[in-house]
Structure 1
């Protein structure tokens, strides 16, 4: 039995700074000592960020919370396909990414209301698009 809480973090706008902020926080040594982190959003956006930052971690797509957040070398991304990766262009906000961010917030809230995650965090979003 895993007794640490699952903390879900929505990546924010995948075209903005959100994925970078989230990924940088997840590679800190202290995080896994405190909780079982789960990212909600686009696995492609998280992978793009990991590649850009040259971090030695694996990005894994999950559609359930079972077994998430146990390996500090793995970033588990709850991705239900809300965003076509072709819309991810760093620094350029667009409506598709805005709609996906709203859908991810709803999914994260549903996970919390169902008791599957114990806390939620929202990454930065763009309100101009």
Structure 2
């Protein structure tokens, strides 16, 4: 995957790429481009369509040519506009997140008086909650 897509959320990288294509794009193409499973690409497209108001896009359904699977349609997406405020909001979030995750900050969060194994257990329990 291109380095330009590495510093932003996957859904925004996908929306940017789809907008650059200036054509209808399928989840299968997205999955291939971003090296993710097709079901993940379908979920990300659904997320963009339903939850990200700053991304304006159109969809259309194209029937699959598969026999014996009932009425299965493939959804195509075309991104027409991405609000620039989305980029600035995400940039601020990423900068805030990078300053919060410093090792010094984590060390101050760990409760005092724990032995080595207990510290690992505490850190693992925090990482599983995210």
- Using structure 2 for the length normalisation, give the TM-score: 0.28
- Using structure 1 for the length normalisation, give the TM-score: 0.28
Greater helix share, structure number: 2
